[in-house]
Amino acid sequence: MTHHGARAPWKARRIGNISRSHVHDAMCARIASRLVAIALLLAFVTQARVAKSDAFDISDTSWEGCSELYNLATSELGSDRVKAVAVLDWSTITANDGVLVLHPLQSMDPEETEAFVRAGGRLAIADDYGRGEETLRRFSIERTTLPTRPVQALRNKPQLAIAEPVLVDEKGQPTGPHPVVANVQQFVTNHGTGLRSAKRLTSVLEIRAVGETPVSVALAGMVDSGRVFALGDPSGLMNQMLRYPGNRAFTQALCHYLVDEDAGKRHGGKLYIVANRFSEVSSFSGNDSLRKDLESQARALADALAEARQNGAPAGLHWAIALFALLGIGAWVVRAASRPYKSPNPRFARPTPLVAQGGVAGRFALLSAPSSPPSLVLLELKSALVEALGQKLGTPVEPSMEAILSAAHRAGTLDDERRAALKEVLATMHKAESSIVAGRPTYVPRSMLSKAASVVRDVLHAAGGITPAPLGNEPESATRSATVPVNSPDKPSTTVRPASEESSP
């Protein structure tokens, strides 16, 4: 309001204390705080998921863990002889040691496992639906299905079939039980798989069925100086299953079988236990190489892809992809918001290009443009010659070579030298015109352009169409007059007056 009570005129307020950099800094800080909050939330969710242990884990004390198996092994062999590891270092393992693998989720190194067994080591793989079959195949052991109607089953459930020690060989001759099942009468399985072998391996446990052939659950075989033991039901070694006497006795005997002496050749080695996902490093023979490292990395990548194909990508990977996508979007938003943009000039304020102006200036701009072929200049000279001759004779002139030569001779007598020069220039013009019509303009050297301009000038001078002037020194109006019609309303006349006449009143 003014001091008279009237409303003051409106004025735009100037924000002088807030700069563009301050706004940008505030925006970046706000976005960064949100990203940090989201990252903390993702870390909390991921940590909550990781806290849950997998089945068969040695440190898991729940019903599906294998902590009781570790306790049995340490009580039978001693804590210094049992090593539950997540990284299997082949360089620290000797031929007197044993390796127990529970439900492996990746393929083991085929060269190291075979070298270890052939050197005298003992390898036991307890697996049903993991990746242990890939290693067992190297020892001619494959999976098969269990009988659907077992003779004995816990709670009458075929999935909980009861296996019994094998006391006879394939020919029906009594052989006695295998050392691992010497004190076992029954072994309760839990959703296991059967095993078979093309070679004559020893069947340790089998499930008898009604109307079906018995199927082995455990096989043992000798490979050179070592031993391989396969169990098709790792669930039988879980904490919940070790409450059954047969399963417990089987586990105790298996621990001794893997490390105890064999006919005086073994001297109480260590038992290494690995479960689920683990890694392998070094070499059993001590010969590490770049090729082996590359093969190990390639095998790990193949295992990860196979698992992702079968079970889908892990949840942590989904969260990581989402986080990176969010960070990328946030960075793009910050960059786009802080980028200064130049305001374009309106179309009415832009200068009109010379080529688009038309007239003589636009015509010359088109001919001199870098994108225009030089052959267009020849066509322009030919057009100017035809128009000038037509104006001089008073009748239209055909653009053919013979018609132009005849018109030039009638307009002004041509000697043999000028006629030959004009004929050569017209032939070049005809070739240039044909190439342009075909869409493949030919290259015309600058010397030819100068020669054509000189010949056309001489012909028009002989015909009385223009006043001669030295090339390169003629006025601009004279140059234009040689290439435009005489009676054009917006162009100068083809006859150029001397400079003295133009300056006189």
Specify whether 361 is located in the same domain as 275.
no
Specify whether 77 is located in the same domain as 200.
yes
Whether residue 413 lies inside any domain: the answer is: yes
Specify whether 383 is located in the same domain as 257.
no
- Output DSSP code: residue 75: H
* CA–CA distance, 76 with 259 (Å, rounded to integer): 11
* CA–CA distance, 23 with 15 (Å, rounded to integer): 12
Which residue is listed with tokens 């939330």? Answer: 41
| The domain boundary residue, chosen from 273, 288, 303 | 288
Cβ within 8 Å of residue 383, ≥6 positions away: 483
| The domain boundary residue, chosen from 288, 307, 339 | 288
Number of H helices, E strands in the chain: 14, 13
Whether residue 254 lies inside any domain: the answer is: yes
Count of domains forming the chain: 2
* CA–CA distance, 289 with 121 (Å, rounded to integer): 23
What's the pLDDT at 249?
96
Specify whether 284 is located in the same domain as 397.
no
Give pairs for 490-497: CB < 8 Å, separation 24+.
490/359, 491/360, 494/388, 494/391, 494/465, 494/466, 495/465, 495/466, 495/467, 496/466, 496/467, 496/469, 497/467
What's the pLDDT at 215?
95
Closest CA to 493 of 413, 365, 388: 388
The token duo for 210 is 């009604």
Q: Where are the beta strands (DSSP E) in 198-350?
A: 202-207, 215-223, 226-231, 271-275, 279-281
Specify whether 87 is located in the same domain as 186.
yes
* CA–CA distance, 274 with 54 (Å, rounded to integer): 13
What's the pLDDT at 149?
93
| The domain boundary residue, chosen from 266, 288, 310 | 288
Specify whether 284 is located in the same domain as 379.
no
Specify whether 135 is located in the same domain as 243.
yes
Whether residue 218 lies inside any domain: the answer is: yes
Per-10-residue mean pLDDT of the chain, 505 residues long, equals: 45 41 54 57 47 76 93 93 93 92 90 90 94 90 93 92 90 84 95 90 93 93 92 95 95 93 68 92 69 65 67 74 88 85 80 74 79 84 86 83 84 81 87 86 86 87 64 45 41 38 35
* CA–CA distance, 113 with 90 (Å, rounded to integer): 9
Whether residue 348 lies inside any domain: the answer is: no
Give, rounded to a whole angstrom, the gap between the first and last alpha carbons of the chain: 69
Specify whether 275 is located in the same domain as 369.
no
The token duo for 306 is 């196979």
What's the pLDDT at 491?
40
Whether residue 28 lies inside any domain: the answer is: no
What's the pLDDT at 32?
56
What's the pLDDT at 478?
40
What is the b/e burial string over 404-441, where b = at least 16 CB atoms within 10 angstroms of the residue's CB?
Answer: bbebbbebbebeeebeebbbebbebbeebbebbeeeee
- Amino acid in position 103: H
Whether residue 299 lies inside any domain: the answer is: no
| CATH number, position 171 | 3.40.50
Q: How much is the pTM?
A: 0.53
Domain that holds residue 103: 67-288
Whether residue 133 lies inside any domain: the answer is: yes
Specify whether 254 is located in the same domain as 360.
no
Specify whether 485 is located in the same domain as 371.
yes
Specify whether 218 is located in the same domain as 365.
no
Specify whether 169 is located in the same domain as 245.
yes
- Output DSSP code: residue 199: S
Whether residue 164 lies inside any domain: the answer is: yes
What's the pLDDT at 193?
95
